[in-house]
Amino acid sequence: MRRWYWVSMLLFLVGAGLVLPCYGEEKDEAKEGRQKVTMEEIVVKEKQESGFVETKSTQPYTESTIAKEGIKILGGPSQTSVDKTIELFPSVNVESIDPYGLNRQGRYIRIRGQGNNAHAYTMEGIPLDTGTRFGPRENSFDMENFSNITLYRGGLPANQGFSWGNYAGAVDVQLLKPFDKPGFTFTESVGTFDFNRTFVRADTGQIVPGLKSFLSYSYTTADKWRGSGDVEREHVTFGTVFSPSPVVNAQLFFDYQKGESNNYRDLSYAQAKDLNAYYRYDYNSSLTGNSRQDAYYYEFNKIDDEYIFLHGNLQIKPADNHTLTIKPYFSRDNIFNTDSIANFSGSPGVKEWRSDRTKYGAIVDYKTRFLDTDLSVGYWLEMFKWPAYTAKVYRVSPTGGLTFAGWQKQLLKYDGYFRWDSPYIMLSKTIGKLNATAGLKYFRFIQPKTIAYVNTSVSDVSMDDFSDYARIDGGACVGGKSTDVFLPSAAFSYALNDHVTPYFNYGRGYDLAYFGPGGIINGYWSNRAKFDAAGITADMLADRQDIPIGDNFDLGVRLKFGTLHITPTIFYSKFKNKDVTIQDSATGIQYRQTVGKAEAYGAELEIAGNLFDGMSIFASGTYNRSKFTKNVPSSSGTTDITGNQFPDTPEYMAKLGMIYAPHFLPDFQISPVIRYVGSRYGDATNYEKISGYSTMDVSMAYKLKNISSVLKDLTLGVSITNVFNSKYIASISAADETRQTGATYYPGAPFTVACSITGRF
């Protein structure tokens, strides 16, 4: 794709938007008789936008919403990472391994101490991927097309959080719909590490009555800040809204992305403790002719991905207080990965593996009202096809070429569709000053049969054809499985007066330990002789798996003093069936089992509002204790980890963001963001301690208004990350039960500056 091809298409679209309305104008009488139709959305009661956030008033759930202005500031010059926008909220510990949030390598985020897959990502309720290297996910979109982002922590309403896991909460994105008037937006950004980004969006306005659309395109590239390599990304988004009558409203959105990204090399704990020596440590920048060293060449560590994502929203209102909403969606992703591996048959190698998936789904919701009670019933269905999980390994020749060395053990094929089913019901009622909500969701996960193959006799054939040459390993195969759970929820708020509203909520969530039995089958293969001697197959191990669940309780109060909103909250969560690597006492074999028990408790504080004219703030504080309540035996013996803090989970965090526009220069805005993250551990034994750190980012913008009849305004921006160039460990990759030497570490990005210019036409 060429960026200027898409720019020209956008200009054409704008022209169409300017011309077509002339042919579709209605007579005055028709205009007067026509009713304005808007898509019904989840209504947030009494919300107000205040700088970074939309402040809440009577909501009974623990939720925080980043407003459009907050997305611009916290999203930074790349405007791609949802995680970066929610980092100011309480109990969120996240930092990208690159300064722009572009890298596709992985997600290292914990909310209330719970990791990656424990919280959902959705776009207007439609699930996005949460896996590290899968399709449409948190940094797969252009956030210029977002209107706001809401984070739920703890319990969820029954109609939220459809995903692989949600017992830590959910993140929901609302899209910026096509504008009523034609317009064109252009942004060009440049910055440190050869960062460059072009973004354009064209809105048609009303093409014909009730029909409007937009098309956007972005091209982004940047070098890695340490080592060699870069990231390149192209993205296209199209959206259209059609409201032919007050009864029907239809929306359709399409995203396409293609990109490639070189990976960053992780550090060991010893290296992480010596950042003066290892701060810029990375993969080799050149080939040496030594096969063992050249396996760690930077070009052998990268991700190439391409995906499409199509989703719609059809709303039908046949009568007052009756609304049927149907949200179908489809996605397809093709991801090709190469990684260095330390040991394959005794020496380092280069692994190639592929993830190709096709996904279909829909959410159907019916809302009505009776006896002064709002009723919502719905159903979520998702199915996806994941043909196979395979990985080839190569040796590096003296000339730098790759020579086939064999297949990894994970030679698997999925015979059918993965499937999620989740019907739900939710009731909401207001009685005087009391707001009450209760819901029940049923969740079922169906996994197809997994066929395992013996990899020793397979030559260098296509990944699509390996099953024609491999022999089935009957003992390692896993039959189709189905697991389910009921998920109740309830929430209450009571407005004592205009200034004080206490609230309480409870919700049960889940995580998916049993997603793809690769871990189970690998554990079986690694201990094959012992399992065979005990008469245990991989299918029998899979039968022991259950759905990890978490029960969340929150108690808080929303305080309002003029324009200042203060929300203290205390929380408690109890988890069971956590997926952990544990030694089976009956067989003496170590493998993954859903037997972990844990709890988390703590306190959160949010402060948002306007301190004075021209100055708005958002501040948060967190105290969090997340720990196992039962020891996890391992092959090296039972280590007492009960009561120890989870890895990568600071007990204390504090964050502050400000937006200041001085009265003597109202078109200028400066926005500093300060974060303190307390000390953390990389392991469950709490031996590998990582010091806390503080960082400061600053963004500035100056807007020139009403420049001409064509150019509405021009905004000049500067964004500075890590102002004081602090050296610190930003991300830790570790499972909850990780022992010493099991974690890997990534240093935070250095001082980074980017400049941008945005024009609205």
Residues 6+ apart with CB under 8 A from 605: 90, 566, 567, 568, 569, 619, 620, 621, 622
Per-residue tokens: 474: 């009957």
Alpha-carbon span 156 to 49, nearest angstrom:
22
Q: What is the mean pLDDT of residues 555-571?
A: 95
Q: Which residues partner with 304 through β-bridges?
A: 260, 336
pLDDT of 11 reads 40
Confidence band for 417, pLDDT divided at 50, 70 and 90: very high
Residues 6+ apart with CB under 8 A from 28: none
Per-residue tokens: 362: 């829909």
Per-residue pLDDT tens over the stretch 228-262 = 999 999 999 999 999 999 999 999 999 999 999 99
Average pLDDT, the chain: 88
pLDDT of 19 reads 37
- Show the 3-state SS of 535-549: CCCHHHHHHCCCCCE
Does pLDDT of 398 surpass 80? Answer: yes
pLDDT of 612 reads 86
pLDDT of 435 reads 96
pLDDT of 518 reads 65
Strongest mean pLDDT among 2-11, 345-354, 373-382: 373-382
Alpha-carbon span 224 to 98, nearest angstrom:
7
pLDDT of 742 reads 84
Does pLDDT of 136 surpass 90? Answer: no
Distance between start and end Cα atoms, the chain: 25
Q: What is the mean pLDDT of residues 96-122?
A: 87
Alpha-carbon span 315 to 325, nearest angstrom:
4
Residue found by looking up tokens 């040796």 in the block: 395
**Domains of the chain (ranges, CATH numbers):** 3-760 (2.40.170.20)
Other beta carbons within 10 angstroms of residue 488's beta carbon come to 14
CB 642 within 8 A of CB 627: yes
Q: What is the mean pLDDT of residues 518-526?
A: 80
Does pLDDT of 38 surpass 50? Answer: no
Other beta carbons within 10 angstroms of residue 253's beta carbon come to 22
Per-residue tokens: 232: 């390149």
CB 523 within 8 A of CB 591: yes
Alpha-carbon span 73 to 611, nearest angstrom:
19
pTM of structure: 0.90
Please give the residue that has the higher pLDDT: either 456 or 10.
Answer: 456
Does pLDDT of 562 surpass 80? Answer: yes
Alpha-carbon span 360 to 475, nearest angstrom:
32
CA–CA distance from 301 to each of 257, 260, 285, 292, 556 (Å)?
Answer: 20, 11, 11, 15, 46
Sign of CA dihedral 75, 86, 234, 759: negative
Does pLDDT of 636 surpass 70? Answer: no
Other beta carbons within 10 angstroms of residue 486's beta carbon come to 10
pLDDT of 20 reads 39
Q: What is the mean pLDDT of residues 505-532?
A: 83
Alpha-carbon span 54 to 502, nearest angstrom:
18
Per-residue pLDDT tens over the stretch 283-299 = 999 999 999 999 999 99
pLDDT of 582 reads 79
Confidence band for 638, pLDDT divided at 50, 70 and 90: low
**HSE of 117, CA atoms in CB hemisphere, 13 A:** 21
Q: What is the mean pLDDT of residues 551-573?
A: 96
pLDDT of 581 reads 81
Per-residue pLDDT tens over the stretch 180-230 = 999 999 999 999 999 999 999 999 999 999 999 999 999 999 999 999 999
Per-residue tokens: 354: 């592929």
Q: What is the mean pLDDT of residues 54-81?
A: 92
Please give the residue that has the higher pLDDT: either 527 or 382.
Answer: 382
Please give the residue that has the higher pLDDT: either 611 or 277.
Answer: 277
Strongest mean pLDDT among 38-42, 115-119, 342-346, 374-378: 374-378
Alpha-carbon span 260 to 104, nearest angstrom:
8
Residues 6+ apart with CB under 8 A from 142: 79, 80, 199, 216, 218, 235, 237
Confidence band for 134, pLDDT divided at 50, 70 and 90: low
| 20 sits in which H/E element | helix 3-23
Q: Compute CA 208 distance to the chain's CA centroid, rounded to the nearest angstrom.
A: 36
Does pLDDT of 39 surpass 60? Answer: no
Per-residue pLDDT tens over the stretch 585-602 = 777 888 888 888 999 999
pLDDT of 346 reads 86
pLDDT of 634 reads 65
Residues 6+ apart with CB under 8 A from 206: 21, 24, 180, 181, 212
Per-residue pLDDT tens over the stretch 137-146 = 778 899 999 9
Which DSSP category does 614 fall into?
T
Alpha-carbon span 283 to 263, nearest angstrom:
9
pLDDT of 462 reads 86
| DSSP of 469-489 | TSEE-GGG-B--EEEEEEEEE
pLDDT of 47 reads 52
Per-residue pLDDT tens over the stretch 434-446 = 999 999 999 999 9
Please give the residue that has the higher pLDDT: either 41 or 164.
Answer: 164
Alpha-carbon span 110 to 116, nearest angstrom:
6
CB 348 within 8 A of CB 340: yes
Confidence band for 515, pLDDT divided at 50, 70 and 90: low
Does pLDDT of 719 surpass 70? Answer: yes
User: Which long-range contacts (C-beta less than 8 Å, at least 24 apart) are formed by 579-582?
Assistant: 579/511, 579/513, 579/548, 580/632, 580/735, 580/736, 580/737, 581/632, 581/634, 581/735, 581/737, 582/632, 582/633, 582/634, 582/737
Please give the residue that has the higher pLDDT: either 631 or 433.
Answer: 433
CB 384 within 8 A of CB 352: no
CA–CA distance from 312 to each of 13, 89, 252, 363, 562 (Å)?
Answer: 21, 30, 4, 10, 40
Task: Determine the residue type at 387.
Answer: P
pLDDT of 133 reads 57
Task: Determine the residue type at 680.
Answer: R
Residues 6+ apart with CB under 8 A from 179: 203, 205, 212, 214
Does pLDDT of 7 surpass 70? Answer: no
Strongest mean pLDDT among 533-547, 630-644, 649-663: 649-663
